[in-house]
Amino acid sequence: MMHTKRYRSLAVVALVIAALTTSSLALAASSVTRTSSGLTGTYSTTLKSPAELKGRWLLTLARGGSYTVQLNGQLVARGKHTSTAKTITLDREQGSQCTGAGTYAWKKSGKTLSFTRKRESASCQARAVVLAHRFTQVR
């Protein structure tokens, strides 16, 4: 009988811990969105140098967490992104030499969007150069 009470007590404690863990995970998951509604849109910037990156860049951040990058009207990359109210992580990029994730702080003021690098993959330095410029929302 003593062991039964102890096992019941342990079972109750385990259930409480499981409930707290589940609610904590749900709360953490709700703070990360596929795309912040403040970021959805198409943004443009123009680079004059270096020569290999020269031109008009378009960054489109779509609902659902996808993004595309165009240079002078040509699709050069696409990938997935996740964002919070302060950061965006770009990942799983295809079409470029970039093989890793990059996390940037972002700030939007009116139609101007700027990024500050937090972490970037060594293979994605061109992305870092482009995102160091201010973008203007065009759509």
Is residue 58 included in any domain, yes or no? Answer: yes
Is residue 36 included in any domain, yes or no? Answer: no
Residue-wise pLDDT for 100-121, tens only, equals 999 999 999 999 999 999 999 9
Residue-wise pLDDT for 86-100, tens only, equals 999 999 899 998 989
Q: Looking at the 3D structure of the chain, how many domains does it have?
A: 2
Range of the domain at 101: 41-137
Average pLDDT across the chain, whole number = 81
55 in the same domain as 23? no
64 in the same domain as 128? yes
C-alpha distance from residue 4 to each of 9, 17, 18, 61 (Å): 9, 20, 21, 57
90: domain CATH number is 2.40.128
117 in the same domain as 49? yes
Percent of the chain with pLDDT over 90: 69
Helices (H), the chain: 2-30, 125-131
CA angle 72, 77, 83 (to 5 degrees): 115
Is residue 13 included in any domain, yes or no? Answer: yes
Supply the pTM of this predicted model. 0.73
49 in the same domain as 26? no
Residue-wise pLDDT for 30-43, tens only, equals 333 344 567 999 99
